[in-house]
Amino acid sequence: MLNDCTLWAKEAGRVQLQYFRGNALDIKTKFNDSDIVTAADKASEEILISNIRKKYPEHSILSEESGDNGNESDYRWVIDPLDGTTNFSSGLPEFCVSVGIQYKLQTVIGLVYAPYIGELFHAIKGKGAFLNGKRISTGKNQDIRKAVVTTGFPVDKDRTADNNMDNVARILPLVRGLRRLGSAAVDISYVAAGYLDAYWELNLHEWDVCAALLIAEEAGAKYEFFRSDRNISVVVANPGIMPQILPLLSQTANKHAFQ
């Protein structure tokens, strides 16, 4: 299944590169102007879903653009065909294909493929995490003052003050650097590889994090869901930084909406 997943993700990545920095993106909005989909998202999804349906017709599929296919199966593929669509549509290289495979609701395979950068992360439950075939492990830094961390902002940031700015205000002065790369799956995979010390974000969805969280866990990183009222709100960090950053994150809703 990992071999199939890798083959199909690379096929989807090749299609993405054909669209990248081109004039045929056909950008459309979904929830608001910050939530977009392109022709490349749909083409990538079609490659993945058609191949899964052909070889594993009984398996369930949850995908960002098409939702749940409704099959009842012990196996479920959780797909973000193009994570980082805003980056992609702007010509920025941090975007990826993300595919997680679950068995009885437990993620057993995770793959994150960033085609422009040429980085393929994968993990099998209990067998470690890898980047381009080489085993990876999370960083060893234990000093938040030396940490480089990353975050993201919820798609409804224009409609509510519960938009992560309070967390940024608390954490930014304490760390060496804060980045915003624009792809949750890439961010988490970089924590797994030790390139970043921590990542957090709120109001994500399962397809954003399913594959990457397994990669992070297999690389030795820790993760916690720090909010229960904003879809998936997760912090991922190396073991030395997790106890320092988790208490800084707001675990209750900011009720103040913009007027």
- Domains parsed from the chain with CATH numbers: 2-136 (3.30.540.10), 144-248 (3.40.190.80)
pLDDT at 27 over 80: no
| Of the listed ranges 20-24, 73-77, 144-148, 161-165, the one predicted with least confidence | 20-24
pLDDT at 202 over 70: yes
Mean pLDDT, rounded, for 50-70: 89
- Say what the pLDDT of residue 158 is: 85
Mean pLDDT, rounded, for 193-210: 97
pLDDT tens for residues 165-191?
Answer: 999 999 999 999 999 999 999 999 999
SS3 call for 252? coil
Cβ atoms of 153 and 204 within 8 Å: the answer is: no
What burial letters (b/e) apply to 92-122, b meaning 16+ CB within 10 Å? bebbbbbbbbbeeeebbbbbbbbbbeebbbb
Mean pLDDT, rounded, for 218-235: 96
DSSP 155-174: TTTTT-S-SSHHHHHHHGGG
Pairing of the two strands 134-136 and 28-29: unpaired
Cβ atoms of 162 and 230 within 8 Å: the answer is: yes
Q: Which residue from 207, 257, 195 is spatially nearest to 236, judged by alpha carbons?
A: 195
pLDDT tens for residues 78-103?
Answer: 999 999 999 999 999 999 999 999 99
Write the DSSP symbol of residue 51.
H
pLDDT at 28 over 80: no
Mean pLDDT, rounded, for 197-218: 97
Phi, psi of 196 (to 5 degrees): -125, 155
